[in-house]
Structure 1
Amino acid sequence: MNSSALTVRPIDSKADRKKFVDFAWDVYRDDPAWVPPLKDEVHGLLDPKKNPWFQHAKAQLWLAERGGKVVGRISAQVDQLVQDEMCQGTGQWGMYEVLDAEASAALIATAEDWLRQQGMKRALGPISLSIWDEPGLEIEGFDESPTAMMGHHRPEYQGWIEAAGYEKAKDLITYALDITNWQDPLIDRLIASGERNPRIRIRNVDKSKFDQEAALILNLLNDAWSNNWGYVPLTPAEIAYAGKKLKPIIFNELVRIAELDGEPVAFMLTIPDINELTKDLNGELFPFNFIKLLWRLRKPRTRRLRVPLMGVARKLHGSRLASQLAFMMIEFTRRDAVSKFGATHGEFGWILEDNKGMLSIAQLPGAEINHRYRIYEKAL
């Protein structure tokens, strides 16, 4: 280890923000499973002028340096919606990347001190920046590249975080399965019964009415997820922002809305694994990579698809109809995913480890847990 003294300082300039974002390349340069994020996306996430999350939250970023070289980074954040919806006095930290145990300890302690100064009594982490972005630390599945919008971390991080006094708050899991040919007699009968039911309609999303469809889906999401641990509602501004970001990777055949007696009551959002299309771009869109990516997105052919969001209206939770609608959306999407997009594998998640309803749906024939992410907590 370099014997120079370790310093941790808050970042306060555009140059520092660039160092903060670019540091991930130092951490993972020799990790074949890492997928470089698009730098423009990360900068947008951290920019209060672009990300409407900052309308109800604040964050501070730090760099750890030794001998003039960045050796770690971290954020700490206080979200008013977390206070209102989850628990008063709960702060969070995230954007955690680090090269050694000493820097890890110093960064976490610095983030905790800042949270205490904000009146927080408990810390949750890593969450980068909100539960809707990249929550949790990867603790299983390091050898496989993550799918789009999921994190990837060094195995050492778990020990370093636990050494700082953190304990498990909740695990988030993803399931992977071969979608080319799966059959289950019970599920097949449930789907067939639904297809005969005139009250049920499973339709594709209509991208020509994108704003209305996005608002419908994300409002359904707010209702469906409202009882989940860690839930905070998406504000109207965040719904619009999320819709704008998702629009390039939304395809009519991969997003389903379930209607009951003409009322939208469930949805399933499936996206191509964009990581397969961006991995060779090394995080850079300009000057020419954005043209390459736009071309690839015209008709994406990815091996994997991911279901990041799925929800059934709260009034149907626990009912047979909820499962029926879910399996119908899965099967109809699976058929198009294989025939029109050439996909062979799917991933469901993340799912809370104790969300029995969603786990019962995700545990499809042949499905196996491929990644596990852990959110830690500590009293401050």
Structure 2
Amino acid sequence: MSAPVIRPVSGKADRKAFIDLPFRLYAGDPNWVPPLKDEVAGLITPGKNPWFGHGRAALFLAEAGGRVTGRISAHIDDLAIAQPVEQGMGPGTGNWGMLEAEDEATAAALIAHAENWLRGQGMTRVLAPLSISIWDEPGLLVKGHDHPPTVMMGHNKAEYEGWVEGAGYATAKDLYTYDLNITEPFPPLVQRIVASGERNNRITIRKVNKKKFAEEAALILSILNDAWADNWGFVPLTDDEIAYVGKKLKPIVFEDLIRIAEVDGEPVAFMITLPDLNEFTADLDGSLFPFGFVKLLWRLNGGFGGKPQVRTMRVPLMGVVQKLQATRLASQLAFMMIEYIRRDSVADYGASRGEIGWVLEDNQGMRSIAETIDSKVNKIYRIYQKTL
């Protein structure tokens, strides 16, 4: 096979090839879920994705023998560069992501090309893969290839782990997702903690009000920016990104699946749960047209029932304001929100399984909560680093 030629994406045909490539590479993989192509296009397009208000990216294709054999993105986030080095990002840190390749030689050529682009932009270190930010699909799947990912999580070939490490990359951080059976009550200890919280008149656990969706989304993400500010890899969300995320999530937001915890009337914590949209889109082949949109809408509305019936619920985000972190109250609020959403997920949505994550490998507080409710690690996503 001839050596791949790496070139920048230019024009509509190239962007289409960039988006379409995984559909060919994963055609025989039963655990790959085709992404909605319009969503991918929005992710990589300036003017659509507000990330480009503080970041810049280059997209590259690999070609050999007259056809596209790989792709990669290289990008720099000015907000990430401004973060403290000890939190994972920091000055001189660039990223690549969205890697897909037919073989190791192509992957190596793509990674090297992305590194050269980052060097040319003055970067001295790589943290990867990120597609495109830490808030999108972070990390390379290194455990859990035997079952499909849930909504907003990635899937890649198992061979990629060796290919990336063969290009000189070492582990920076592992991200875990946790699987649990939600049809059974939580252990007695958790039930006692929840009952104690219910007797505390200082605590209120409320559902979000979808009629005030913009306000609720802004409230939740303001708590998030505070709660996660010291986390490894954290990059603050801008107001435009908050509005963008809210608009994208609104169709799959259900009031009883998102809870806000208040103490003495002050919002201090939240938990977002989403029905696994991948269950609804897996057979749409990446397109909502001409009939995919009708199918998706029908499924999201549960037919005529008003609520989707799904097997899996995913908890992508939880947060407690910093002033309460490492307190018993923080854990109590978390257990209360988890329990209330568990009950409604089973009773109203027919769900039987939950997935929590991603969770940083050294986030002992969140890992302890996950283990206390008898959940187990089912997938590991790895973020790598390399000095340029």
> TM-score by structure 1 length?
0.99
Equivalent residue for 1:81? Answer: 79
Contact 1:182 1:366 in 2 (8 A): no
Tell me whether 1:56 sits opposite 2:54 in the alignment. Answer: yes
CA RMSD, 1 decimal: 0.7
1:1-380 matches, within 5 Å, as: 3-85=1-83, 86-298=89-301, 299-380=307-388
1:168 is paired with a residue of what secondary structure? strand
For the residues of structure 2 that align with 1:207 and 1:335, how far apart are their CA atoms? 20
Provide the residue aligned with 2:304 in structure 1. Answer: none
For residue 348 of structure 2, what is the amino acid of its counterpart?
Answer: K
Q: What is the CA deviation profile of residues 125-169 of structure 1, one whole-angstrom value per residue up to 9, with x for unaligned ones?
A: 110000000000000000100000000010000000001000000
Does structure 1 conserve the Cα–Cα contact (< 8 Å) formed by 2:190 and 2:372?
A: no
1:169-210 C-alpha deviation (Å, 9 max, x unpaired): 000000000000133222111111100000000000111110
Alignment partners' CA distance in 1, 2:93 and 2:45? 23
Q: Distance in 1 between matches of 2:80 and 2:186?
A: 41
Question: Aligned partners of 2:325 and 2:4: how far apart in 1?
Answer: 51
CA distance in 2, matches of 1:112, 1:135: 18
Tell me by how many angstroms 1:5 deviates.
3.6
Q: Please list every run of at least 4 consecutive aligned residues from structure 1 whose deviation after the TM superposition is greater than 3 angstroms.
A: none
State, as a whole percentage, how many aligned pairs show the same letter: 62
Letter in 1 for 2:4: L
Report the TM-score, using the length of structure 2 for normalisation: 0.96
Q: Is the 8 A contact 2:190 2:373 kept in 1?
A: no
Distance in 2 of aligned mates of 1:186 and 1:32: 39
Note if contact 1:182-1:365 (Cα within 8 Å) is conserved in structure 2. Answer: no
Shift, 1:291, TM fit: 1.3
Aligned residues, how many? 378
Which runs of 5 or more structure 1 residues have no equivalent in the other structure? none
Preserved CA contact (<8 Å) 1:300 1:341: yes
Cα distance in 2, alignment partners of residues 26 and 64 from structure 1: 15
- SS for the counterpart of 1:280 is coil
Secondary structure of 2:339's counterpart equals helix
